[in-house]
Structures are given as structure tokens and as C-alpha cells.
Structure 1
Amino acid sequence: MAVTCNTLLEQKFFKSIKLMAGASGLNRVISWPYVGQTASVADWVHGGELLFITGVVHETTMLPNLLEECISKKLAGLVVLTGNEYIKEIPENILQRAEEANFPVFSMPWHLKLIDVTRCIIDVIMEERQHSKNITSFLNYLLFANEESEAILINRASMNGVNLPKHNFITLIACDDKEHKLYLEENLCQEVKNYCKLQKIPCFTTLYGNVLILLTGAPTARRARKVMDSLEKFGSYFKEVVQENVFIAFGSICLELKSLCISYQEAKYTLDIVQHLPGKNCMHYDNLGIYSLLALINDDSKLEYYYRSKLEPLLDEEQTGADDELLYTLKSFLLAQNKVVNASKRMSIHRNTVLYRMNKIQQLLEVDLSNANTCLELLMAILIKEFLDHKQKYN
């Protein structure tokens, strides 16, 4: 786990330091402790620092501006040394603002030695960083080294402090927003760990490129599938916490560690598909269906040729603006198993409207929709078109 304010509250040396406001922000990751010795700290921090102030430089009247700097620079929290001649207690308006911003503010007794507290925090951070390096080293070897010996992999897991259940699988998670990629990836790592801790799911993660790799599992295959079900809901959790969307892709459940490289490749393949599907954010490799075939065709021009050869008259109608609902009607009709009543309910329009459009579609395409093969070809063509349209838009 990354070091957060929550982590510090569990440490013995932090017991005398009291949380005053911003409990909702305790999961902020702490990059380093920083002692503020200038009136303004904005030019001296990168974001993620836990700021300590003694009051020697910062008078009580300066705290509102300092707090706003902390919030805007996305610091992990603010620790104010109190009970001395400088700052006897933290003003109520500071606590109210911190609570509004979900920004942790702590009160630290003056008699505690600042050097001891910051040194202990650094020790915790360095220990966590080493643990993260061990996990990353193990995952890199597990997924990319093509090791065929199960015994060697089990030994490496033990050496790196990775204790795995019997049934494991790989999940890949990627952010949808490319503009704030770095910020989101840092938040994504921490929120995945928070979520897994909340759901009591074993969690080993590493970032590879801009994708989070998550290794997890359960003692039985049935419980592993339940873990998958829980992880499917992570997208909603992340959307609520960070206000951003993520894509989630699952590989198969494996009994042997050496098979997890296959689970990773499956998840990677699935992630590429789900990122190019309209309305999809989560998918399992086992449920790819027709899209697993589409991804095998590297030449998009061949796919485009196929759907145009089947749908060209309808595409011409859309391009001229004569009717932009024919493709949608055809898809709804085919998905409703060629039943007009079901299609009208699906589209929330009158059945006569569906009949009118379907007659027009059959005239334009010159096809017999009572033929099962024809219907299959048309539905395939529509799905291919949607797949390529979304792929082009996403890229």
C-alpha cells in the first residue's frame, strides 16, 4: 500500500498527533514530509507533500492563504504545531474550509520533536517504496520473462513478499482522460488499493506504460469470480471519487502462476477491444464474442470494405440527411429477432413507424430479411461499423 495520512494514523509515533478536519481526504498519498519555512509554499512543493508548520513563520492570520495553497497544489495534508506562543490552536474557519475541501489538517503538540516525526515518516515511505519495487520486480518477471518453472515463480513470489491464493487472474485498468494522464494514474493506483482493501481483496499492482496491472485472486474459482464481480464495480467507485471514467479488462482465472502471463495477454487484448466499443467500460476475455474476431484483423480497410458492401445504400441515405435513423432501426429490428412489436418497444416508437422504415430498408438494400444468413451478415456489418467509428473517435 502507498503511504497515506490513514497509514500514518496507524503508526505509533503518530498517536499524539490529532486529526482536526478533512477525514474524507485521509487516503491522499504522501510523497514526502516538508517543513514550511517561508510565508508561501507554492513554489517549493510538487504536490503530495505532508506540510508541517511551526508558527514561527506562519502567523494565525496567514493560515487561510496557506491552506488555499495546500489545496490548490494538491498536498497530502497540513500539520500545525500548536500549544505554543505562536499558534495556540487552529482557528475554526481553517477547520471549516479544510472540511469543505476534504483536506486533512492535523494538530501536533509543540513538545514533540519535529525531526523525530519527519524521520519516522520518511522511514515508512522508504519501506513502502521498497515493497512496491519488490512487487513490480516480481510482476515483471511473472508476466514478461516466460518462466516455465512453477517452483521458481513460487520461490520468487515468496522472496518478494507476495503471498498469492490458489486461483489468480490479471486485471488491466486504464484511464479514459488523456489530458490529466499522470495525475489520474497516481490516483488510479491508490484508489484501486483503497477499493481492494475495502472489499478485502488481495491486491498486487504495478503501472506498465499508462495501464495499471492488478494481480489478485481467491482460494477457489468460485470466489475468484466473485472477486471479478467486485472489481467490475470499481469503475463506478472511481467515477464517484475522482470524477473520471476507467476501462477495465479481465484475463482468465489460472491455477498455476506460469499461466498468468497468458491471463495478462488476454486482458491486454480485451482492453484494446473495450476501449474501442461504444458504451462499454468493462469486459471479460471470455465474453468478447464476435469482437475477438474483429481484433484479429489488423487491416481496418478490410473491415470497412465489408460493412460498406453490405450497408452502402443506408450509408448514402445518412450522408445526404435523407434519413439518419435507418441503421438504428435495422439494428434494433435484428436484435429484436425480426419482431416488429419488440423493435418498436425497444426504440419507443409506434410499430407502424418501424414497418415503414423496414420496408424502406429492404427496398434500399434489396435483401430478404427472412433469410437468417442475410440477417447475420447485416448485424455483423453494423457492429463492425460501430467498432471502427468508435475506434477512430477514441484514437
Structure 2
Amino acid sequence: MSLALEELLSLPGLEVMAVRAGARNLQRTVRWSYVAENEGIAEWVMGGELVFVTGINHPRGEANLLSLVEDGDAVGIAGLVILTGDSYIQRIPQRVIDRAEQLGLPLIEQPYALKMVVVTHLIGTALVQMGQARRSRHDILGQLLTGDYPSLAIARQRAAHLQLPLDQPQRVVALRLSAVEAMFQRHGPEQGERLWQQARQAVEDHLDAWCRRQPGAMSALLPGDLFILLLPEQPDLREALARLHRQLAGPAGEMQLFMGLSSTAHDCAHYRQALNEARQALDVAHNLRPATGLCDFSELGVLRLLQGIGDRTVIDAFVAQTLGPLIETGRKHPHALLHTLDALLVENGNGQRAAQRLGLHRNTVNQRMQRIEQLSGLSLEDPLFRMNAAVALLIWRMSETNNKE
């Protein structure tokens, strides 16, 4: 994992550095530190730096500091540190603090009494140590995921030393950026490579920050630019991954990102099998392109057949023909009949249990059952209709982003 700004600020010796704005984004990853001596910083940074402003070699009035805040936000620095004291910058103007807060740019005040040589040494050392720890974590997780280890017992010992939480059931998520070839064709090799590396790093940083907020979560990067998450089992995991997919749209830039979710691996000895499942689900997600970006291995039985259909319009037409009559666009809850049909199929046609699942009165479900049969022209007792509806609902759930009232 990378070094987050909040971790950096907690290093012994940096306690006097105070956050003045942008505290909500202290999870940002710090790639390196940079002392700004020029009037502007836009052309001197690449993103992810913690930029220090001293005012020693260039006057730093309010207008210039505001410009640095704007530039820093535009290029994606991790944060801006302004040194204050009696000699150069006496204080940070309130307008600068307000603008940084508005943009969400972490703005930190450092007293001149805290020597820059001490600060840069502490930060540089921490970044090197964190980089080494991260490489070790990726190495051991990569071995467990691929099964390429000399001894499982040694792998367990190394994982314990690195404090990796392997003593709980985990699900593996495989993520990969898509449409890379099209991006290179649009921009050419030089610009395409720059955009690709930028997006790859942004996605990796976002995943690291996301994992820091998820207890027990781990991340790794495998050869072939395959991003891996290991996540503890939780009831709302699919919803959390759907939200993550939406959040990754920005870092992915021009490219798309798809995810495959494995079944539960109850022990690290089963990580290899879980990775294989996640990759199979990822292949299906890439071909069917669900709106949530996610495919679950548990759904692969039918979906593997569907991905063999090269023309997506054939699949869409099947869903429209099967479920279209049940979507009541003029009503407050246009998908109510679809949710009812889904619950009935899950409960094997038992209306009472379907009502309990939906939190509705049995009479309401009975009325909806009658309406489903009326609009579809088919009986819920018809096994062919139930089979078609189950497949169509599976595709619909993958394709719709707002199908829950």
C-alpha cells in the first residue's frame, strides 16, 4: 500500500504540521515531496506530490498562493504545504484557506522552525520503507494468488510477518482497464503511453485509498496489469463494488474498467482457485459490459453461454421481449412487477415468501402476480416462461444502474 497524507502527518517529528483545509482528502497518496521555488508549479509536477512552498526565493503574496492552490488542484498534487513564520510568509491568507477547502485540496501549515531537511528526510525514509513493504505484500499475495510459492507454510509465515489478514474468508476481485488499444490508436504511441500510465497509476492509487477504508481489505497488482482486491465477505459487497466502479470512472479516463468477483475462499490455500474464478467472471463482464461493471462467478452458468453471442442486440431484444411488457413507465415505481417476478422466482413461486422478501402484504403480491400474467400473456406456472424470465432478469440486473425503487 502507498503512503497516505494522513499517515505522513502522523510521523514522529511532524506533529507541528497543521491541516488548514481539505481534511476530507487526507487519504490521498503521496508519491514524493517537492519544494516549489518557481512562481508556478503546474509545469514542474506530475501529480501525487506533496508540494512545499517556502517563500524564500520567490515572493508569495495572496494572489500567488491562490494560483498555486488552483494549479495544484488542476494537476492532482497530494497536498500543499505552506511554511509560515516571521521572515517570509507570515500567515496563510483566509481566502487561500477557503479556496483550498472549496476544492478539497489538503492545505497544511508548517512553521519555519521545523527544518525542511528534517521534513524531507522523514518523508523520504517513510516512502522508501512503505515502498519496500508494499512490494513485499504484493509479492506474497501474488504467490498465494498464483500458487507460485515454494512452501505454503513459509508463505503463511511471511504473510503473518507483514500483518496480512489471511485468517478470515475472502473474496477475490479481479479488475482490468479496457479499451487500451483504442486509446493508443486515437492518440498515437507517445501520448497513448502517457495517458495509459497516468490512468493506471490513478486507478492503483484509488484502489489503495479505498482499501484503507475497508477493514481487512488487501490489494495487489499482478503481471498483465491485473488489479486484485481481496475483500472479507459482507452482505452489501456487490453494492460496495458497484459504487467503487462508479468512483473509478474518473481515474480510468478514456478507458473502461470491469470487475470479476469470485466465490468465497475460506483459506489462503484456496486463493489460486478464487483468482481463477474471478478472472473467468472478469472475461464475461468484459464481453457483456454490465452497467455495474461487475460479474459474479456464481452467475457464470448462463452468462458464459450468453457471452458466446457476438451481437449484443440479440440479447437486448430477448430481454425487451421477455420483460418489456412488465415495465410500467407511467407509474411511480415502473419496475415493481420486475422485482415481484424476481422474488417469486427466487422463492420458487411461493407468494407468501415472496411477499415477506419484498416487505409487502400477500394481497399486493397476488395482485401483481395477476398483472404479470395479464401483461405478459403467459402463466407463472409455465416452466418455459419462468426460465426465460430468470435469464432475462439476470441480464437486466447487470444492465440497469437504477432499477431499485
TM over 0.5: yes
**Greater C-alpha Rg:** 1
TM-score normalised over the length of structure 2:
0.70
AA at the equivalent of 2:265:
I
RMSD: 4.3
1:191 correspondence with 2:203: no
Within 5 Å, give how 1:268-347 maps onto structure 2: 268-273=279-284, 276=288, 285=297, 288-289=298-299, 291-295=300-304, 299-300=308-309, 325-326=324-325, 335=342, 336=344, 337=349, 342=365, 345=368
Aligned 8 A contact 2:34 2:49 in 1: yes
Count of residue pairs the alignment pairs up: 349
SS at match of 1:251: strand
User: Is the alpha carbon distance of 1:122 and 1:385 closer, same or farther for their aligned partners in structure 2, counting shifts above 3 Å?
Assistant: closer
Residue of structure 2 in register with 1:116 after alignment: 118
For 1:257-299, what per-residue CA distance to the aligned partner results, in whole angstroms no more than 9, with x for missing partners? 32211122223333445664756566654xx25x434326763
SS at match of 2:51: strand
1:253 correspondence with 2:273: no
Aligned 8 A contact 1:53 1:79 in 2: yes
Distance 1:95 1:207 in 2: 37
SS at match of 1:206: strand
SS at match of 2:229: strand
Distance 2:160 2:110 in 1: 39
Distance 2:115 2:265 in 1: 51
Within 5 Å, give how 1:216-255 maps onto structure 2: 225=233, 228-229=234-235, 231-232=237-238, 234-235=240-241, 238=244, 247=259, 249-255=261-267
Residue of structure 1 in register with 2:77 after alignment: 75
Distance 2:218 2:395 in 1: 38
Distance 2:391 2:169 in 1: 37
Distance 1:211 1:343 in 2: 48
Distance 1:64 1:268 in 2: 47
User: Is the alpha carbon distance of 1:232 and 1:371 closer, same or farther for their aligned partners in structure 2, counting shifts above 3 Å?
Assistant: closer
User: Is the alpha carbon distance of 1:239 and 1:164 closer, same or farther for their aligned partners in structure 2, counting shifts above 3 Å?
Assistant: closer
Residue of structure 1 in register with 2:9 after alignment: 9
For 1:139-191, what per-residue CA distance to the aligned partner results, in whole angstroms no more than 9, with x for missing partners? 221112455843242244356x2444433423316489979943651343233
AA at the equivalent of 1:204:
M
Percentage of identical aligned residues: 21
Distance 2:339 2:266 in 1: 38
Unaligned runs of 5+ in 2: 184-197, 251-256, 329-336, 352-362, 401-405
Distance 2:396 2:7 in 1: 46
For 1:296-325, what per-residue CA distance to the aligned partner results, in whole angstroms no more than 9, with x for missing partners? 6763269999998xx69x85xx9xxxxx94
User: Is the alpha carbon distance of 1:177 and 1:110 closer, same or farther for their aligned partners in structure 2, counting shifts above 3 Å?
Assistant: farther
SS at match of 1:12: coil
1:215 correspondence with 2:230: yes
Shift of 1:87: 0.8
SS at match of 1:117: helix
AA at the equivalent of 1:134:
S
User: Is the alpha carbon distance of 1:177 and 1:93 closer, same or farther for their aligned partners in structure 2, counting shifts above 3 Å?
Assistant: farther
Residue of structure 2 in register with 1:378 after alignment: 388
Aligned 8 A contact 1:171 1:249 in 2: yes
Distance 2:338 2:97 in 1: 56
Within 5 Å, give how 1:12-91 maps onto structure 2: 12-56=12-56, 57-61=58-62, 62-91=64-93
AA at the equivalent of 1:100:
Q
Distance 1:134 1:151 in 2: 16
For 1:21-80, what per-residue CA distance to the aligned partner results, in whole angstroms no more than 9, with x for missing partners? 221121111111001011011001001111111112142131111111111111111111
Residue of structure 2 in register with 1:222 after alignment: none
Residue of structure 2 in register with 1:221 after alignment: none
Distance 1:232 1:388 in 2: 11
